[in-house]
A and B are shown apart, each in its own frame.
Chain A
Amino acid sequence: MRIHFKTSYDHDIRLFQDGWQAFLYAALLALMIALPWLIDDFFLGEATNVLIWSTCGLGLMLLTGQTGQASLGHSAFMAMGCYACVLLMEAGLPFILAFPLGGIITGLIGALIAIPALKLHGVYLAIATLALAILTDDLIVMLEPWTGGVAGKFAPPIYVFGIEINRWSNPTAWYYMALVVVLVVTLFYRNLLRAPMGRAFAAVRDSEISAQAMGVNIARTKTIAFGISAGITGLGGALMGLFAEVFNNETFTFILSIQLLMMIVVGGLGFIHGAFLGAIVIAFLPQVLSIATDSLGSTVAIPGLETGVFGLIMILFILFEPMGLYGRWLKIRTFLELFPFARKDMFRRQKSYLKTERLR
């Protein structure tokens, strides 16, 4: 176990606790940069997919993990981000402008949607956002002149500083692009967490009443969280649509938002790491399952298998490891650091009976 002697306030402010931790993350980054030389193009595509899911997951994590608002409608923001980015590109904007602008537009729309949705708590918010996700599907069809409707749209070619980024001819560039996006988003996320806004998020999550008594404007904080969350998810959605190259109303169904929510729970709600771990699970589960069914000698695909297995994983996690994969890792790490002095109930869940959000 490492002990931190804190000698200045910056110790609590900076990104890494100590040099060792900074070294570990630098090593991870080096590995990520070296990845195109270590694995073939197929797996590089999968890695890109993980990064894209992570971006979307970070967006939802900010809302659900940090601010405590469950959204089942983030597929709507993925769609918005994607269509906004592509429409801007078609209007002649270079990708490097269209992409962040698409995220900002989605964020603003998200904040606008949040203003009425804010009045809703827990379940009501979940249902309202679910309705939003379903409506988006229909709206994309109805707005056919812009969205291409059911026929969908083809992603325009992407040029960044004159280099064409194409997933077939230049998969490494695509991977790096996704990596840069995810790094920038993660940095913004971390910066928020160590600033007053991030603490206001946690305050709203844990006790609205006392957050107010401390001067936190609940409506404003939630709107900001919703907006930033929608914006980040919009960036992820844009990457997802561009990576798929063709997309229509069915690319962003409400099922996607449910998967996204499940993903961050499997990864570990409230942790940045959780979004990444969850993304790894969700991106590789189909591969693992197809390998498993192949080895069992089954040649036909079993419909619903993927969601069924995913559902089972979810239930097991919620019952036995509500802190997700990252929570499990924390427990293992603490156990190893303290060995042999770790106590079993160090992480015991506190049961809160009848902590009701119902207004009565």
Chain B
Amino acid sequence: MEVLQLLISGMANGCVYGLVALGFVLIYKATEAVNFAQGDFMMLGAFVTLGLVNPEFMGLNFWVALPIVFVIMGIFGYLLDLFVLRAVFGQNQVAIIILTIALGFILRFVAGLIWGHEPLSLHSPLALGDLRMGELVLGMADVAIIIVTFLLTLLLWQFFQRTKVGLAMQAASQNQMAAYYMGIPVKRIQGLVWALAGIVAAVAGILYASKGAIDPNAGFIGIKAFAAAVIGGFGSLPGALMGGLIVGIIEPFAARYLPAGWSQIAPYALLIGVLLFRPHGLFAQVRVKKV
């Protein structure tokens, strides 16, 4: 029973990690930029929702606010690509890594200015309380998170398989030059990928805030999500989700069954292990550069 309980709550955490990791991988595949601020995107998404929904701010109905949040975060992602990331396109990785880390710093600062540094909780319809079945205590929010993540994954999969934009994104991520020659507006597609990453981050943020409180430093879970993305394989979307789940599940089990301190270390130890023995992740195929 206890195992099941740990598993569910771990999976719920893992879904949030997985969704943030998904954002990294989306952007990495399409633009080769690594968005170290993806965790802060998630934090921003949560706060934007909170600002629209919570009674002490605008107090909108959640379902009315939801599309507005997606539009705001989508436009945010697109504009960020247009004005900031595009300027460093093709420059070395160090520049892009630092750029996105700096972006995270700024987002954290701005969120702190607007919404303060006290943890706030979101008035979310997913905050459903606990369900008790004998010894088993199930957080309904956890179950809801898992379901929503599952649905979103299906939706994204269909999006990449069926829609024109989705297919163009796939093409651009495999070979930018070839995609460009085939008439795909690669730059606009990259902007749209950033927009999509913003929306996915918003979903992750709402799910995260449904489980507990949110504060400007919540973006730091992005680091764990990063570990998740690498564990799953940086080039693979399903890998990112799986990596997220693995990290999410390991944490509560390590906390329960290993000596104190290990639950903090476990995800990173796993990350280093994966990097040592399968540097390209558990779920990725590797090809070698041609000279």
Contacts and interface: CB of A to CB of B under 8 A. Distances in A.
Query: Are A and B in direct contact (Cβ within 8 Å)?
Result: yes
29 contacts: A68-B94, A117-B275, A119-B279, A120-B279, A123-B97, A134-B223, A135-B268, A138-B264, A258-B101, A261-B98, A262-B98, A302-B113, A303-B117, A304-B105, A304-B109, A308-B109, A309-B109, A310-B102, A310-B105, A311-B104, A311-B105, A315-B84, A315-B102, A319-B84, A351-B90, A352-B90, A353-B90, A359-B287, A360-B174
A127 B94 contact: no
B287 A354 contact: no
Binding site secondary structure of chain B: helix
Contacts of A135: 265, 268-269, 272
Nearest to A312: B106
Interface in B192-233: 216, 223, 226-227, 230
B271 A305 contact: no
A205 B89 CA distance: 19
B106 A311 contact: yes
Interface in B58-116: 84, 87-95, 97-99, 101-106, 108-110, 112-113
B288 interface: yes
A142 B261 contact: yes
Contacts of A130: 223, 226
Contact of A354 (B84, B176, B223, B268): B176
Given A70-B97, A127-B226, A209 B291 contact: yes
Contacts of B88: 318-319, 322
A275 interface: no
Interface in A328-357: 351-357
Contact of A134 (B89, B110, B268): B268
Contacts of A322: 88, 91, 95
A128 interface: yes
A350 to B, nearest CB: 10
Interface residues of B, number: 53
A311 B103 contact: yes
A224 to B, nearest CB: 20
A314 interface: yes
A352 B265 CA distance: 39
Contact of B110 (A70, A124, A308, A358): A308
Given A135-B265, A307-B105, A312-B106, A123 B93 contact: yes
B177 interface: yes
Given A70-B97, A124-B279, 18 more contacts: A64-B94, A119-B279, A123-B34, A123-B97, A138-B261, A262-B102, A269-B94, A303-B117, A304-B117, A309-B109, A310-B102, A312-B102, A315-B103, A318-B95, A318-B98, A318-B102, A322-B95, A357-B93
A288 to B, nearest CB: 16
Contacts of A311: 101-106, 109
Nearest to B265: A138
A305 B89 CA distance: 28
A261 B265 CA distance: 24
Interface in A105-123: 116-117, 119-120, 122-123
A173 interface: no
A84 interface: no
Contacts of B174: 360
Contact of A262 (B101, B117, B235): B101
Contacts of B176: 354
B178 to A, nearest CB: 11
B271 A128 contact: yes
A141 interface: yes
Can you list the 7 inter-chain pairs with the closest CB atoms, starting with the nearest?
Answer: A308-B109, A311-B105, A314-B102, A311-B102, A131-B268, A304-B109, A122-B93
A237 to B, nearest CB: 20
B3 interface: no
A128 B272 contact: yes
